[in-house]
């Protein structure tokens, strides 16, 4: 039986999700917890990948979107007494609004300026969180009470449900990304990455598509941020700092920019690399730095990118 | 309370910030102008300059002025050499691709920063200024005898801070002369205009790139040596100046040296003045929002070409 390339890709990724579902029964508690965390962070990286990997826009300010979701949920739950469902929705809306606004302003620039402008906006966002320390508790952050981390009667702080919730979020976003990139809209984004002038010449509204890409990317990052706060019960300003804008770039590059599974593979590798090295030294970010330099020198396509080039050219 | 003396104080503090910022941002702007790449590790070269200044002063001992002078020469040279090495081993190999260079210099940022943390540690350490007389700010008041001067209590600056401003002006003039009046400057400008044609005329472009990258980093280190007697050396100190230089370079127009200096003075002064009335956090937020407005009305910066 012959399958079309796009169908093959969908089946492959569904199979991968099934594997993640089965893994929970055999993993020891420590790695089980880690994998739940990695799936949420990989969702953040997938959001980043929509803009960086598929559209070709390098943003250094995605921590702002991650934090918008995290605080959109955390603040409404803590100060307005909202429950988890509306809280998640507030996080999603906050992410959508922030990315629409920032995207509108930042897209007035392009190339190198775009990267610097997003970095600065994220820094302003980070400082704003510190400035309103009375509500956000600044660097120290705040804990979301276990009693509040309940969705439709399910206790999300319980490891089993937490894993399943993370898998559900990751799965939905993964399949959404694949559908998006197989659609007309996604093809235009890839065309913009490959040759912006030509795409414009062919009559596509490049600016509008880029704006939509920022919003889709920022909103997915925000949902990941909200889910992170909900599943692990903590929101803090660290998640809005420059470091958390660099992380998704690193994860996506390591896994393979412009591949659907790359963000997950990159997050998985880097998470364990940092986990191992932080037991050896406090300067664990050294590993991240060396990895970035080596990647640009020797593996510009990333792990999944190489894999696709050699074995599976049909991979989304 | 009279407001004016506080404003003068704010202006002087702002000009010190502007002086250091201008040196650092001109380094960044030079690298972008000639090589068309953004050096995200620029802040770490700044930090390394400060840390090396402490190291040199600490090893030499003796009179603060001699130790400081030695640091002023040795630290930028070492940092410049290191940057040239990084250029030749990393940036050249990825053929200065803009995005890959950003990623590689982010990597370099963490490597330099974390290695400093592992060796120098997380303490902040001071360097003694070469001279440091207190200068009180005078102000006038109307008395029965007419106009007379008085010194508002506690308001003052130091001779060292004024010297930083003066020295930065001399250095910036020096760079201007270097770029417009010398053969090296001509070669750099030729490479900036058209890399391929410059190469065809026998200019060793690889060497020019390495030199420019080293010069840019050296300027950041020089700025750091100047500021380290006022602000202590710390392994995370490169972060804020990097963001401020980015702001300055964007407002000034990427690659325009004159625009960079004008923007540095604007940002430095407003930072100094806003800090008199508001907290530093709010001052930084305001500076960032100012950039937003510049971008809305002039996406290519003040002096940038379309």
Please report residues of B whose CB lies closer than 8 A to that of A243: none
Q: What are A149's strand-pairing partners?
A: none
Nearest CB to B115 within list A124, A282, A286 = A286
Please report residues of A whose CB lies closer than 8 A to that of B114: 283-286, 289
Structural domains counted in chain A: 1
Q: Is residue A291 part of a domain?
A: no
Please report residues of A whose CB lies closer than 8 A to that of B247: 120
Q: Are B11 and B188 in contact (CB under 8 A)?
A: no
Residue B173: what pLDDT? 94
d(CA A267, nearest CA chain B) in Å:
17
Tell me the two tokens of residue B174. 């020096």
CA distances from B233 to B51, B124, B130 (A): 6, 5, 16
Nearest CB to A127 within list B106, B254, B281 = B281
Residue A156: what pLDDT? 75
* Chain segment A257-312, per-residue pLDDT in tens: 888 888 999 899 888 888 887 777 777 788 888 888 988 888 888 888 878 887 77
Classify burial at B296, counting beta carbons within 10 Å of its beta carbon; exposed 0-12, middle 13-18, buried 19 or more.
exposed
Q: In the 8-state DSSP scheme, what is residue A138? A: G
Q: Is residue A316 part of a domain?
A: no
- Give the span between the Cα atoms of A188 and A165, in whole angstroms: 32
Tell me the two tokens of residue A144. 């979301």
Q: What is the mean pLDDT of residues A30-46?
A: 90
Q: Are A106 and A112 in contact (CB under 8 A)?
A: no
* Chain segment B63-117, per-residue pLDDT in tens: 888 889 999 999 999 999 999 999 999 999 988 888 788 889 989 999 999 999 9
Q: Indicate whether A147 pLDDT > 90.
A: no
d(CA A244, nearest CA chain B) in Å:
13
- Give the span between the Cα atoms of A21 and A17, in whole angstroms: 6
Q: Is residue A267 part of a domain?
A: no
Q: Is residue A97 part of a domain?
A: yes
Best mutation target, A112, A138, A242, A246, to test chain B (most B CBs within 10 A): A112
Nearest CB to A293 within list B90, B102, B115 = B90
Ramachandran angles phi, psi of B134, nearest 5°:
-80, 135
Q: Is residue A261 part of a domain?
A: no
Instruction: Specify the length of chain B in residues.
Output: 306
Q: What is the mean pLDDT of residues A151-155?
A: 75
* Chain segment A163-216, per-residue pLDDT in tens: 888 999 999 999 999 989 888 998 999 998 988 889 888 888 888 999 999 999
> How many CA atoms lie within 13 Å of B137's alpha carbon, on the beta-carbon side?
19
Q: What is the ipTM of this complex?
A: 0.81
Q: Who wins on pLDDT, A79 or B92?
A: B92
Residue B65: what pLDDT? 86
Q: Inter-chain contact B98–A293, Cβ cutoff 8 Å?
A: no
Please report residues of A whose CB lies closer than 8 A to that of B110: 285-286, 288-289, 292
Q: What is the mean pLDDT of residues A230-234?
A: 85
Instruction: Specify the length of chain A in residues.
Output: 316
Quick one: which of B215, B240, B251 has its CA closest to A109? B251
Residue B45: what pLDDT? 96
Q: Are B6 and B276 in contact (CB under 8 A)?
A: yes
What is the block-wise mean pLDDT of chain B (306 residues), using blocks of 10 residues?
Answer: 76 90 93 88 95 91 86 94 94 86 89 92 86 76 71 73 91 92 90 88 91 95 93 89 86 82 88 78 76 72 63
Residue A214: what pLDDT? 94
- Give the span between the Cα atoms of A132 and A233, in whole angstroms: 20
Nearest CB to B285 within list A112, A113, A131 = A131
Nearest CB to A108 within list B114, B288, B295 = B295
Tell me the two tokens of residue B211. 């030199």
d(CA A153, nearest CA chain B) in Å:
42
Q: Which residues of A touch B (CB under 8 A)?
A: 58, 105, 108-109, 111-113, 115-117, 119-121, 123-124, 127-128, 130-131, 242, 246, 249, 253, 281-286, 288-297, 300
Q: Inter-chain contact B93–A297, Cβ cutoff 8 Å?
A: yes
Q: Is residue A292 part of a domain?
A: no
Buried b or exposed e, range A34-53, using 16+ CB within 10 angstroms: bbbbbbbbbbbbbbbbbbbb
Tell me the two tokens of residue B47. 């930090």
- Give the span between the Cα atoms of B104 and B206, in whole angstroms: 18
Residue B306: what pLDDT? 45
B95: helix, strand or coil: coil
Nearest CB to A246 within list B98, B106, B114 = B106
Q: Is residue A264 part of a domain?
A: no
List the domain range (segments joined by +) for residue A98: 5-241
Residue B154: what pLDDT? 64
Helix (H) or strand (E) holding A155: strand A154-155
Q: What is the phi-psi region of residue A183: left when phi exceeds 0, alpha when psi lies from -120 to 50, beta otherwise?
A: beta
Q: Inter-chain contact A120–B296, Cβ cutoff 8 Å?
A: no
Quick one: which of B4, B3, B11 has its CA closest to B265? B11
Q: Is residue A184 part of a domain?
A: yes
pTM over 0.90: no
Residue B305: what pLDDT? 57
CA distances from A131 to A124, A237, B279 (A): 10, 11, 9
**In chain A, which residue ranges form alpha helices assigned H by DSSP?**
5-26, 29-49, 62-79, 84-106, 112-131, 133-136, 159-182, 184-194, 196-201, 206-232, 242-255, 262-277, 285-298, 302-310
> How many CA atoms lie within 13 Å of B262's alpha carbon, on the beta-carbon side?
13
Chain B: residue nearest A128 by CA?
B285
A99 CB contacts (<8 Å, ≥6 apart)?
A: A65, A68, A214, A215, A217, A218, A219, A221, A222
Please report residues of A whose CB lies closer than 8 A to that of B109: 289
Q: Are B288 and A120 in contact (CB under 8 A)?
A: yes
């Amino acid at each position: 039986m012959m399958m079309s390339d796009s169908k093959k890709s969908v089946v492959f990724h569904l199979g991968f999700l099934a594997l993640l579902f089965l893994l929970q029964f055999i993993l020891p508690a420590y790695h089980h917890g880690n994998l739940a965390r990695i799936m949420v962070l990989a969702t953040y990286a997938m959001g980043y990948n929509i803009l960086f990997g598929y559209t070709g826009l390098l943003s250094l300010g995605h921590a702002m979107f991650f934090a918008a979701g995290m605080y959109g949920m955390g603040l409404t739950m803590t100060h307005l007494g909202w429950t988890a469902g509306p809280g998640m929705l507030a996080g999603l809306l906050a992410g959508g609004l922030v990315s629409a606004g920032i995207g509108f302003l930042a897209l007035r620039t392009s190339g190198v300026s775009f990267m610097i402008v997003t970095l600065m906006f994220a820094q302003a966002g980070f400082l704003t969180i510190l400035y309103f320390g009375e509500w956000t508790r600044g660097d120290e952050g705040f804990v979301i009470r276990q009693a509040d981390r309940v969705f439709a009667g399910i206790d999300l702080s319980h490891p089993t449900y937490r894993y399943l919730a993370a898998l559900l979020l990751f799965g939905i976003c993964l399949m959404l990304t694949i559908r998006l990139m197989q659609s007309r809209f996604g093809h235009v984004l890839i065309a913009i990455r490959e040759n912006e002038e030509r795409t414009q010449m062919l009559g596509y509204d490049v600016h509008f598509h880029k704006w939509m890409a920022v919003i889709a990317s920022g909103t997915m990052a925000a949902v990941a941020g909200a889910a992170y706060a909900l599943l692990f019960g903590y929101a803090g300003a660290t998640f809005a700092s420059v470091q958390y804008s660099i992380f998704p770039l690193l994860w996506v590059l390591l896994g393979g920019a412009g591949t659907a599974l790359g963000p997950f593979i990159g997050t998985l590798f880097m998470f364990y690399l940092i986990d191992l090295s932080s037991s050896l030294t406090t300067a664990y970010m050294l590993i991240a730095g060396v990895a970035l330099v080596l990647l640009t020198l020797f593996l510009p396509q990333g792990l999944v990118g190489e894999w696709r080039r050699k074995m599976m050219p049909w991979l989304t | 309370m009279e407001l004016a003396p506080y404003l003068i104080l704010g202006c002087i503090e702002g000009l010190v910030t502007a002086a250091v910022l201008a040196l650092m941002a001109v380094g960044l702007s030079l690298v972008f102008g000639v090589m068309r790449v953004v050096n995200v590790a620029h802040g770490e070269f700044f930090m390394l300059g400060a840390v090396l200044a402490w190291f040199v002063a600490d090893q030499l001992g003796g009179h603060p002025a001699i130790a400081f002078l030695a640091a002023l020469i040795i630290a930028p040279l070492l940092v410049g050499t290191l940057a040239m090495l990084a250029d030749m081993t990393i940036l050249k190999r990825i053929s200065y691709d803009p995005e890959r260079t950003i990623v590689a210099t982010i990597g370099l940022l963490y490597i330099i920063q974390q290695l400093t943390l592992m060796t120098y540690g997380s303490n902040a350490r001071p360097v003694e200024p070469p001279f440091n007389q207190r200068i009180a700010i005078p102000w006038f008041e109307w008395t029965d005898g007419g106009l007379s001067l008085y010194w508002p209590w506690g308001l003052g600056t130091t001779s060292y801070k004024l010297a930083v401003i003066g020295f930065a002006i001399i250095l910036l003039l020096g760079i201007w002369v270097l770029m417009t009046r010398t053969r090296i400057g001509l070669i750099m400008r030729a490479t900036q205009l058209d890399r391929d044609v410059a190469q065809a005329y026998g200019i060793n472009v690889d060497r020019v790139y390495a030199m420019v990258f080293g010069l840019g980093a050296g300027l950041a280190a020089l700025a750091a040596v100047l500021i380290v007697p006022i602000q202590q050396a710390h392994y995370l100190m490169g972060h804020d100046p990097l963001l401020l230089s980015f702001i300055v370079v964007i407002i000034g127009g990427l690659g325009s040296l004159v625009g960079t200096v004008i923007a540095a003075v604007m940002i430095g002064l407003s930072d100094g003045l806003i800090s008199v009335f508001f907290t530093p956090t709010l001052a930084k937020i305001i500076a960032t929002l100012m950039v937003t407005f510049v971008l809305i009305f002039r996406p290519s910066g003040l002096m940038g070409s379309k």
